[in-house]
Structure 1
């Protein structure tokens, strides 16, 4: 049966008791292709042909490879949030724009045209999308579902380094304008340096806090590792008070329930605080790192606190500290007076 979601046309049918679907893109031509494919399905069923075997002869299509990739994500224990995000991208972005041909027939030129569909998006978003596509093709090769990756020669476009401008003073202004649950989340972020969002900050549980040792154990799904973060005495008392009043097991909660997202409320607090430069919630984590480095903290220790897999990643935060560069240059002697 032909369906349309947004401007994208696709065909949905049942095969051996399971629901299948194939996308054809947008526009009149896509609709025509969908109609022809639906007719092909009906004819194959009327003749008693095995659709699975027929498609096997043609080769695996990208939507089928994508579905197998998602099944593998579930089987290997990836988070539901990651799986949901991948399914949304496959259904609404990747599959509708991918050329309608078996993966074995896709060329590097096809992928360049596909990448061109994202030209209006930020470079970081385009790189992330192509990384996902590359991962799907690599999965296909690794499991011998396809013989080669058409993106084998793909090189990621270098992203311009983002200028993080958030200061401790401005963070204080944002916290003053924030709703109580957001203000607390910002305080937790700055004192622990956790990755913001569902992966770390919103996943923090009270059972991870060791009040006797003044430390918290944080799990990083990104690197699949645990790290221990010491808690300074003042913030430890804040944690004790919040724990006593907490209703749920989550450190960050709203009306007794875990919080799913803080982006909208954070944007509102920034507007109220009249922050006139681009700022993301993730910048609080940058501020945690750069503040410690600017005050003389050792790079290896800060790298461990951040949960970075490579100390070079932590080192990239140093460039934001203009005050440190000014201090370093100030150590030079006056050459004319020597």
Structure 2
């Protein structure tokens, strides 16, 4: 089991009647490594494997490749939330279901069987899981840890586009029923169109706001890029007033501290506002984009504001909602009548 002495993390277990332990160092990174190692030991015991022989297996196994991938995520600056999520999936989902053999021996058929274990989940979830697995294998190939990706022939099944129903009026109702910190977070999200959650919205700092130029500089961990978002004059004044009241460096705060999650309070506000259709916090970003496009904003400009890597991404994700543009396009046809 995992233990901690001071800031140092280690795993202790019994093997053939003797007590063993392995140290991983100090800090959050060491804890994550210890958790992954402990999950390997538990899985080996569950399968009735000889732990001493398991350590001398030939070839790189998926659990080992997964750990190297996690180390790379941290080294390249991915968010701690993303890293924790990946470790959880490796420990509880991927490693237990992956065939216990070296990656070099895994075949496409093995991966099809692995994918079949997720048949009861939504297609979007299954695709996300397989994307993660594919990324781990691609990492292995890129760093010459494995010779080829056994998922090279994988074709992602298409997902039905989610019907986002949130309107500006309904967002206003949610804000009216929200706690003050959530109401402000929703207002910020709608006016800036930033990605919700820890990556952008909750990471915003007052120093990023340029009141003189009327803009904010946003860093996107997802794409490792910065983008400049102009701020509407009225909202710029709202920001100025909120900064004067702020007790921290964070744009979105609660009792003077940065906020880590808004999911629970958002769900509560939606219930109080009697929103009867499925809605996620991320739908506010969607609403920002579709509202701009519906009001005639340039597609390329909106794509830049959203932080998308290509205009095609914006088109594929949002342009299908443009009823006004479709109606305008059809209206350009000349009138032709039959005799």
* Same fold flag (TM > 0.5): yes
Which residue does the alignment assign to 1:8?
Answer: none
1:98 corresponds to? 98
CA deviation profile, 1:86-111 (whole Å, cap 9, x unmatched): 11111111111111122122111111
Q: Which residue of 2 aligns with 1:260?
A: 260
Residues 24 and 100 of structure 1 are in contact (CA less than 8 Å); yes or no, is this contact kept in structure 2?
no
Partner of 1:322: 323
Moved more, 234-243 or 133-142: 133-142
- Residue 325 of structure 1: CA displacement? 2.8
Are the structure 2 counterparts of residues 236 and 143 from structure 1 closer, same or farther at C-alpha, using a change threshold of 3 Å?
A: same
2:84 match: 84
Q: Counterpart in 2 of 1:33?
A: 47
Give the direction of change, closer, same or farther, for the CA distance of 1:32–1:69 in structure 2 (3 Å limit).
closer
Tell me the equivalent position of 2:31.
none
Q: How does 1:1-338 map to 2 (within 5 A)?
A: 20-21=37-38, 23=40, 33-34=47-48, 36-38=49-51, 41=52, 54-55=56-57, 58-316=58-316, 317-332=318-333, 334-336=335-337
Contact 1:138-1:149 at 8 Å conserved across structures: yes
User: How far apart are the structure 2 equivalents of 1:212 and 1:229?
Assistant: 14
CA deviation digits over 1:87-142, x for unaligned, max 9?
11111111111111221221111111111111122211111111111111122222
Q: Following superposition, which runs of at least 4 residues in structure 1 exceed 3 angstroms of deviation? A: 11-26, 326-338
Is 1:208–1:218's contact at 8 Å kept on the other side of the alignment?
Answer: yes
Task: Report how far residue 323 of structure 1 moved.
Answer: 3.8
Cα-Cα RMSD: 2.5
Q: What CA distance in whole angstroms lies between the structure 2 residues aligned with 1:72 and 1:166?
A: 38
Change (3 A) 1:216 1:320: same
Rounded to whole Å, the distance in 2 between the matches of 1:23 and 1:73 is: 20
In the superposition, the TM-score normalised over structure 1's length comes to 0.85
What is the deviation of 1:74?
A: 2.1
Native 8 Å contact 1:25 1:96 kept in 2: no
Shift of 1:24: 8.3
Q: Deviations over 1:34-89 (max 9, x none)?
A: 3x323xx1xx6xxxxxx75x32xx21111111111112222223222221111111
Name the CA distance, whole Å, in 2 between partners of 1:162 and 1:279: 10
SS of the residue corresponding to residue 296 of structure 2 reads coil
1:244-299, CA deviations, whole angstroms, 9 ceiling, x for partnerless residues?
00001000011111111111111111111111212111111111111111111111
Larger mean Cα displacement after TM superposition, 264-273 or 243-252: 264-273
Matched with 1:6 is none
2 CA distance for matches of 1:242 and 1:153?
Answer: 52
How many corresponding residue pairs?
A: 313
Secondary structure in 1 aligned to 2:126?
Answer: helix
Paired position in structure 1 for 2:9: none
Mapped partners of 1:24, 1:94: distance in 2? 15
Structure 2 residue runs of 5 or longer lacking an equivalent are 2-12, 25-33
How many Å apart are 1:331 and its aligned residue? Answer: 4.9
